[in-house]
């Protein structure tokens, strides 16, 4: 069975998708979707040998070799034109790495209708990248599992301009509207961490003023959003 986090990612994959799961490790996500007959074709990409071996075992063990193609490749290099991939999942890594993978593989995004991304941290830069590259965020989720808070960002290409302001990029354009207990918990924790960092900076000598100001601006932003909630 999938973790709550991966199940939430899986739930965003449209029935009948041709899926590429990048950084797939054991390939649990595409294997689950195939066995549940939600999809019948997937590519599972992995850049590291060890996890790649894991996925080979999983594919063999489940008898999925005709439908799930494991590929040892960096990022979107795992995708080939003939795969006709329309949905990409990238889960369980930092937002900066997800952004790099998308940025380096832009020509592979042609024909892709949906990105389902689950960054562990660093969501802000990822949302800004999506907007800059004409991807509109159509769904967001925040969930807690084993004391970790995870966000899921679902985006679709659009010919229209997309722009998120700093507040929307940081908190999520849809999450900020939805709020909720997990959202509040996450930002209360972030607020406490930022306030602590500011205290430490004030104590230390020779802290660059712009660095302190950036933290203070973030604290003000978080306070504002938490008060609205
Ligand atoms: N996606 C699974 C999940 O969410 O449970 C596995 C997450 S695991 C923490 C991250 C995986 O991404 C690792 O197996 C790592 O080797 C792989 N990875 C990291 N950078 C990658 C890249 N540039 N291309 C493909 N895979 C990558």
148-165 pLDDT per residue, tens: 999 999 999 999 999 999
Task: For residue 120, tell me if it sits in a domain.
Answer: yes
Q: What is the mean pLDDT of residues 166-187?
A: 97
Shortest-distance atom of ligand 1 to CA 24: 1
Instruction: Tell me: do 144 and 66 sit in the same domain.
Output: yes
Last residue of a domain, one of 116, 135, 166: 166
Task: For residue 175, tell me if it sits in a domain.
Answer: no
For the chain, percent of residues with pLDDT exceeding 70: 100
CA end-to-end distance (rounded Å), the chain = 34
Shortest-distance atom of ligand 1 to CA 48: 16
Report CA(66)–ligand 1 centroid distance (Å). 23
Task: For residue 60, tell me if it sits in a domain.
Answer: yes
Shortest-distance atom of ligand 1 to CA 5: 4
- The average confidence (pLDDT) of the chain is 96
Rounded distance between C-alpha atoms, residue 33 and residue 6, angstroms: 11
Instruction: Tell me: do 53 and 151 sit in the same domain.
Output: yes
Query: Which residues make Cβ contacts (< 8 Å) with residue 79, sequence separation at least 6?
Result: 20, 43, 45, 85, 88, 105, 108
**Mutational pocket test of ligand 1: of 7, 10, 47, the residue with most ligand atoms within 8 Å of the beta carbon:** 47
Q: What is the mean pLDDT of residues 73-84?
A: 98
Instruction: Tell me: do 97 and 141 sit in the same domain.
Output: yes
Instruction: Tell me: do 193 and 111 sit in the same domain.
Output: no
**Mutational pocket test of ligand 1: of 19, 25, 43, 152, the residue with most ligand atoms within 8 Å of the beta carbon:** 25
Residue 111 domain boundaries? 4-166
Instruction: Tell me: do 161 and 188 sit in the same domain.
Output: no
Rounded distance between C-alpha atoms, residue 70 and residue 26, angstroms: 10
Q: Does ligand 1 come within 6 angstroms of the Cβ of 74? A: yes
What pLDDT sits at residue 205? 80
CATH of the domain at 40: 3.40.50.150
Instruction: Tell me: do 157 and 201 sit in the same domain.
Output: no
Cα 225 versus chain centre, distance: 22
Q: What is the pTM for the complete model shown?
A: 0.96
Report CA(52)–ligand 1 centroid distance (Å). 10
ipTM greater than cut 0.90: yes
Number of domains in the chain: 2
Instruction: Tell me: do 58 and 107 sit in the same domain.
Output: yes
What pLDDT sits at residue 54? 94
What pLDDT sits at residue 9? 98
Q: What is the mean pLDDT of residues 187-199?
A: 96
Task: For residue 73, tell me if it sits in a domain.
Answer: yes
Instruction: Tell me: do 40 and 102 sit in the same domain.
Output: yes
Task: For residue 217, tell me if it sits in a domain.
Answer: yes
Instruction: Tell me: do 123 and 224 sit in the same domain.
Output: no
- 199, pLDDT greater than 80: yes
Q: Does ligand 1 come within 6 angstroms of the Cβ of 46? A: yes
- Counting Cα atoms < 13 Å in the Cβ hemisphere of 105 gives 24
Residue 142 · residue 180 · CB < 8 Å? yes
Instruction: Tell me: do 64 and 149 sit in the same domain.
Output: yes
Which residue's alpha carbon is at the smallest distance from atom 24 of ligand 1? 75
- 229, pLDDT greater than 80: no
| Residue 98 binned pLDDT confidence (cut-offs 50, 70, 90) | very high
Task: For residue 48, tell me if it sits in a domain.
Answer: yes
Instruction: Determine how many CB atoms are found less than 10 A away from the CB of residue 210.
Output: 7
Task: For residue 63, tell me if it sits in a domain.
Answer: yes
Q: Which of 66, 83, 91 is nearest to 13 (CA)?
A: 91
Task: For residue 177, tell me if it sits in a domain.
Answer: no
Instruction: Tell me: do 64 and 96 sit in the same domain.
Output: yes
Which residue's alpha carbon is at the smallest distance from atom 17 of ligand 1? 23
Model confidence over 27-62: pLDDT tens digits?
999 999 999 999 999 999 999 999 999 999 999 999
In terms of DSSP bridges, do strands 68-72 and 114-119 run parallel, antiparallel, or are they unpaired? unpaired
Q: Does ligand 1 come within 6 angstroms of the Cβ of 55? A: no
Q: Does ligand 1 come within 6 angstroms of the Cβ of 23? A: yes
What pLDDT sits at residue 44? 98
Instruction: Tell me: do 122 and 191 sit in the same domain.
Output: no
φ, ψ dihedrals at 114, nearest 5°: -150, 130
What pLDDT sits at residue 1? 87
């Amino acid at each position: 069975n999938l973790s709550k986090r991966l199940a939430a990612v899986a739930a965003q994959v449209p029935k009948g998708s041709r899926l590429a799961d990048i950084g797939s490790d054991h390939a649990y996500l595409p294997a689950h979707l195939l066995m549940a007959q939600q999809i019948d074709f997937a590519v599972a990409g992995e850049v590291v040998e060890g996890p790649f071996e894991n996925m080979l075992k999983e594919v063999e063990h489940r008898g999925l070799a005709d439908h799930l193609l494991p590929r040892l490749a960096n990022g979107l290099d795992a995708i080939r034109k003939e795969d006709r991939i329309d949905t990409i999942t990238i889960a369980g890594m930092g937002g900066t790495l997800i952004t790099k993978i998308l940025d380096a593989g832009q020509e592979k995004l042609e024909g892709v209708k949906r990105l389902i991304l689950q960054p562990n941290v660093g969501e802000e830069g990822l949302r800004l990248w999506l907007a800059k590259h004409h991807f509109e965020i159509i769904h967001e989720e925040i969930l807690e599992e084993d004391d970790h808070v995870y966000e899921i960002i679902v985006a679709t290409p659009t010919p229209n301009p997309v722009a998120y302001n700093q507040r929307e990029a940081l908190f999520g354009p849809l999450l900020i509207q939805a709020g909720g207990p997990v959202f509040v918990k996450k930002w209360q924790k972030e607020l406490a961490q930022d306030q602590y960092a500011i205290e430490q900076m004030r104590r230390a000598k020779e802290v660059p003023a712009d660095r302190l100001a950036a933290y203070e601006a973030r604290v003000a932003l978080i306070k504002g959003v938490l008060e609205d909630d």
